[in-house]
Amino acid sequence: MSDTTILIDSTTVIPPTWSSEYGVTIIPVPIHAGGKEYRDGVDITAEQFVSLLETSKARPSTAVPGLGEFMSFYERLLQQHRNIIYPVPSTKLTGLFNAAIQAAKQINDARILAIDPPGEWEEEVYAVDSSDLGSGDRLAEIRSWDGPVITVMNTGFASGATGLIAMEGCTAVQEGLALDETLRRMMAAKRGTGIYFILPTLDYVVDRVGYLRAFLGTLLKLKPVLAIQNGSVEDVARVRGENKAKRQMLDLVEQAVGDRQVDIYALHSLAQGEAEALLEQVKLALNVRNSWVGEIGCTVSRYTGRGGLGIAFRVV
């Protein structure tokens, strides 16, 4: 029985090979579209999701798996591992964190560790603040715990940014680090992570920016640059033209990381070639250690539509 395993949901983007190479388990998130429910990555592909986004009267939306499904994943994994770490997308973007905690409470003899939970939690949930300088001492206490430990971590991000944090956990587990040491690595990764993305159209953000701003933006050919900051999607820049938007996005990443070494995830919504070209620009501008190209995931593509591009980074 190995000590710790990483659990993610399908909204988190990691390279496809990592699931088998590092033993990552993926919970498919329900997607509601066209009056039907699909399991992300199982019953519906990225192409099908974007097609529904383009053709459905009601925008497709993601939902939260039921407590029973979470529990079945926990129980199966705890047959082979002592501890589970589940890094979840921002609590401001999804209810996955709360659902994961509530399901963990139903697992007999399990201790529950919540990293960066929203608000206060009851005594049975041991909470740790990753920005607290004393969090290392609190994490050290878990070494004395009996029974399995289920850790749910609010990453504050989504898509490839949450993926980069999960990937840091994978490498720590593979190196044989103890649970508290693995979590320290993941919390440090969170502090050095960011994500920016650009929209080829404003059609899918009218509920955020309003119909008038979306209409004017289309007339002026404005391309917003969005970021996930403090757990929320924020409009950080607006420029005219796609090439300028790509340049602005890259400039923002450069400002964030400086000359420090980074891991990069170039993300796209059905625009593989453009993402690969964007990654080459990133490599010329930054001190890149590792890099990947992948689909941006349904959580973000529901804002971007077809052709959306993003850059997730993690300072190493």
Mean of all residue pLDDT scores within the chain: 89
How much is the pLDDT for 218? Answer: 58
Domain, as residue range, for 19: 2-29+64-191
Summarize pLDDT for 165-215 with one digit per residue, the tens.
Answer: 999 999 999 999 999 999 999 999 999 999 999 887 777 765 545 544 555
Residue 241, pLDDT > 90, answer no
User: Is residue 140 located within the same domain as residue 251?
Assistant: no
Residue 104: predicted pLDDT: 96
Mean pLDDT over 150-166 rounds to 97
Please give the order of strands across the beta sheet that includes 261-268: 232-240, 222-229, 193-198, 309-315, 261-268, 287-295
For the residues 218-238, what does the mean pLDDT come to?
Answer: 82
Residues 146 and 74 in one domain: yes
197 and 308 share a domain?
yes
* Lookup result for tokens 């990483």: 6
Structurally, how many domains does the chain consist of? 2
pLDDT given for residue 222 in this prediction: 75
pTM: 0.93
Q: Are residue 179 and residue 70 in the same domain, yes or no?
A: yes
Between 121-135, 144-158, 255-269, the lowest mean confidence (pLDDT) is in 121-135
Q: What's the confidence (pLDDT) of residue 147? A: 85
CA-wise closest residue to 98 among 76, 66, 129: 66
Q: Which amino acid is at 81?
A: H
Is residue 54 in some structural domain?
A: no
- Phi, psi for residue 113 in degrees, rounded to 5: -115, 125
pLDDT, position 212: 47
Q: At what angle do helices 159-174 and 179-191 cross, to 10 degrees?
A: 150
Whether 20 and 111 map to the same domain: the answer is yes
Is residue 40 in some structural domain?
no
Residue 118 near residue 153 (C-beta atoms within 8 A): no
The yes-or-no verdict on residue 289 having pLDDT over 90 is yes
Are the C-beta atoms of 233 and 303 separated by less than 8 Å?
yes
Closest CA to 250 of 280, 294, 289: 280
Distance CA 161, CA 113 (A): 22
pLDDT by residue (tens digit) across 80-102?
A: 999 999 999 999 999 999 999 99
Residue 105, token pair as written in the block: 């409470």
Residues 199 and 219 placed together within one structural domain of the fold? yes
Average pLDDT (270-299) is 94
- CA separation for the pair 195, 183 (Å, rounded): 21
Q: What is the pLDDT of residues 27-84, one digit of tens each?
A: 999 988 878 899 988 888 888 888 888 888 777 888 899 999 999 999 999 999 999 9
> Within this chain, do residues 161 and 211 fall inside the same structural domain, yes or no?
no
Residue 129 confidence class, pLDDT cut points 50, 70, 90: very high
- Residues β-bridged to residue 262: 288, 315
Query: Do 18 and 24 form a contact (C-beta atoms < 8 A)?
Result: yes
**Helix, strand, coil content of the chain in percent (nearest 5):** 40, 30, 30
Q: What is the pLDDT of residues 300-314, one digit of tens each?
A: 788 788 898 999 999
Residues above pLDDT 70, as percent of the chain: 93
* Confidence category of residue 14, pLDDT binned at 50, 70, 90: very high
The whole-number pLDDT of residue 219 equals 53
**Could you tell me the pLDDT band of residue 121, with boundaries at 50, 70 and 90?**
confident
Choose the final residue of a domain: 141, 161, 191. 191
Question: Does pLDDT of 217 surpass 70?
Answer: no
Q: Under a CB-based contact definition with an 8 Å cutoff, are residues 221 and 209 in contact? A: no
Q: Which CATH number covers residue 10?
A: 3.40.50.10170
Q: Which pLDDT band, with edges at 50, 70 and 90, does 116 fall under?
A: very high
Handedness of CA 186, 191, 193, 198 (dihedral sign): positive
Do residues 201 and 119 both lie within one domain? no
CATH of the domain at 286: 3.30.1180.10
Altogether, the residues listed in the chain come to a count of 316
* Distance (Å, whole) CA 292 – CA 18: 12
Q: Among residues of the chain, what percentage have pLDDT more than 90?
A: 64
Side chain identity, residue 30? P
In a domain, 227, yes or no: yes
